[in-house]
């Protein structure tokens, strides 16, 4: 999955696999999480949001099955 660096005080980079509907987010803390069964519209909404952190908190964080990658 190709990750794109974003401008955010919370999020470092975002990637999306449209076939598997997996959203991957690398946070500025260094932790990486994958969110499952995320619609393309939600990914696009995140990428177009003026505040990616607020969009994440309101639309993604507690709405999708989550898996932490790495340690």
Cβ–Cβ < 8 Å for 32, 14: no
Residue 32: how many other CB atoms lie within 10 Å: 18
Quick: pLDDT tens for 49-59: 999 999 999 99
51, 61, 49, 58: which is closest to 25 by C-alpha? Answer: 61
DSSP conformational letter for 60: T
Q: What are residue 27's DSSP bridge partners?
A: 11
d(CA 45, CA 38): 11
Quick: pLDDT tens for 14-60: 999 999 999 999 999 999 999 999 999 999 999 999 999 999 999 99
């Amino acid at each position: 999955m190709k990750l794109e660096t974003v401008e955010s005080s919370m999020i470092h980079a975002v990637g999306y696999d449209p076939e598997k509907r997996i959203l991957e987010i690398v946070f500025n803390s260094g932790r990486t999480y994958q969110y499952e069964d995320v619609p393309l519209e939600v990914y696009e909404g995140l990428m177009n949001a003026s505040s990616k952190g607020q969009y994440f908190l309101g639309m993604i964080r507690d709405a999708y099955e989550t898996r932490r990658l790495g340690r």
